[in-house]
Amino acid sequence: MFCELGPDARDLLGVIAFFPQGVNENNLGWLFPALSNRMNIFDKLCTLSLTYRSSGFVMMLAPLRSYLCPKDPRSSPLLRTIKGHYFARLSVLINPGQPGFEEGRWIASEDMNVEHLLDVFTTIDPNSGGVWTICARFMQHLYWHKGRLVILGPKIEGLPDDHPSKPECLTQLSLLFDRVGNRTEGKQILLHILKLWRERGDDFRVADTLMLICNVGRMLGLHEEGIQQAREALEIFKRLNNISGQAQCLELLAWSLRGDNQLDAAKEAASRAIDLLSGDRDQFQVCRCHRVLGKIWYSKGETEKAIDHFETALKIASPARWHDQLSRNHYELADLLFKEGRFDEAHTSIERAKSHAAIDDPYYLACATQLQARFWYGQGKFEEAKSEALGAADVFERFGAAKDLEECRALLRDIEEKWES
């Protein structure tokens, strides 16, 4: 029966053995377009017990994987072709609101396979064309659709500073650190990237990196520093006549000014950003600006105006299915409503925040879970509060989010004390 499958069957087994997840049955069309009888082959490989099906993947037991996996992946023509298909899919830049963003969600189920592919080929063929560029694209896909760290970090940091792809790879790595809450590590990487771009004389990249440092810094409470970085980046983008860059700088400036309690200046900066993006320009950025305006108005004691801005952000994000913005705005709305004593509405918002974060943002799901724990604690439901807080603490610990973990443990201590009393 195996011989009847044709000359490609042995090579196909090698491909299945190579990937830790096996092969996704939903992707057989673009992975194996040249195999006309691919479904028949996969069915018979399972019949022969050489493979098995699990959760939508065709997989292989460890002893067979060890035996059938190509000793040199470059020696398998089919595996090289598969590599090309993966690289082609990853080569696309993805950003919310732009074509192809939703299609990029495929990475959420294939991330382990892609990471293994890149780990192998950056080891055995580190100078092959485009492998490091694809590495950066992979991390960008993860940032938006899965939000986790990668095993490729030490390899990226070990690249020579003059390597053409090092700054871009480091940038995407820093964003992943930020995504999982490890902002101190992310900032250190960004400071090194800024040095590399200044040495290379790339003003656009300098400004872009300054914005990233500002964003991480404000989360660390470094508001005065962030104000200076945002203003320096803004001047560069003005010189380059880059409207989108100016709007992003103004949004970040608004966040830093709010953190420094310069509320009127913060409101003006966010409003200027929205004015720059009038019409249909970059609605994702407009959505972000409404979120910061919501925070600013609440800091000014204007609860209803704050709610209006959060709801406007939700209206923009909902049809586009920007789950990160949906989860963040529902989170902010829940926090506000709880502080205002509107408990039923707050619980509805926090559940919505959790549902959107659960799709591809485990770190923010933990943040929402921690907020839920605070709600239960405030209402004297200590058993429920402890359960939620323990779940959040576990995620923060796995992600290395030290500040969040410390706050969560403090909440757990408060819960225990109240519960025992």
Per-residue confidence (pLDDT) for residue 102, from 0 to 100: 84
Q: Confidence band (pLDDT; 50, 70, 90) for 280?
A: low
Packing angle between helix 263-276 and helix 283-299, nearest 10 degrees? 160
Judge whether 23 and 35 are in contact, CB under 8 Å: no
Burial of 390 (0-12, 13-18, 19+ CB in 10 A): middle
Per-residue confidence (pLDDT) for residue 302, from 0 to 100: 96
Judge whether 146 and 115 are in contact, CB under 8 Å: no
Domains defined along the chain, listed by start: 3-76 (1.10.10), 282-358 (1.25.40.10), 361-421 (no CATH)
Per-residue confidence (pLDDT) for residue 92, from 0 to 100: 87
User: How far apart, in Å, do the first and last CA atoms of the chain sit?
Assistant: 71
| Distances from the Cα of 46 to the Cα of 4, 43, 61, angstroms | 15, 5, 12
Q: Which of 348, 393, 341, 349 is nearest to 370 (CA)?
A: 393
Contacts of 159 (CB under 8 A, 6+ apart): 132, 165, 166, 169
Q: Confidence band (pLDDT; 50, 70, 90) for 400?
A: confident
| Distances from the Cα of 279 to the Cα of 189, 250, 272, 282, angstroms | 36, 18, 14, 9
Helix (H), strand (E) at residue 57: strand 57-59
Q: Confidence band (pLDDT; 50, 70, 90) for 336?
A: very high
Per-residue confidence (pLDDT) for residue 297, from 0 to 100: 97
Higher pLDDT: 398 or 370? It is 370
pLDDT at 296 over 90: yes
Query: How far is residue 53's CA from residue 415's CA, in Å, rounded to a whole number?
Result: 45
Q: Which of 205, 207, 203, 213 is nearest to 177 (CA)?
A: 213
Q: Confidence band (pLDDT; 50, 70, 90) for 401?
A: confident
Name all contacts of 185-193 with Cβ < 8 Å and 24+ positions apart: 185/400, 186/216, 187/213, 187/216, 187/217, 187/220, 189/157, 190/216, 193/167
Residues in the chain: 421
Judge whether 110 and 295 are in contact, CB under 8 Å: no
Residue-wise pLDDT for 140-179, tens only, equals 999 999 888 999 999 999 999 999 999 999 999 999 999 8
Q: How many CB atoms neighbour CB 277 within 10 A? A: 22
Query: How far is residue 376's CA from residue 81's CA, in Å, rounded to a whole number?
Result: 53
The arithmetic mean of pLDDT across residues 205-217, rounded, is: 96
Burial of 90 (0-12, 13-18, 19+ CB in 10 A): buried
The arithmetic mean of pLDDT across residues 64-68, rounded, is: 92
Which residue's structure tokens are 């591809």? Answer: 360
Phi-psi region of 299 (alpha: psi -120 to 50; beta: other; left: phi over 0): alpha
Per-residue confidence (pLDDT) for residue 363, from 0 to 100: 84
| Distances from the Cα of 135 to the Cα of 128, 186, 238, 339, 397, angstroms | 12, 17, 31, 43, 26
Query: How far is residue 346's CA from residue 350's CA, in Å, rounded to a whole number?
Result: 6
pTM: 0.84
Q: Confidence band (pLDDT; 50, 70, 90) for 129?
A: low
- Per the DSSP assignment, residues forming a β-bridge with 406 are none
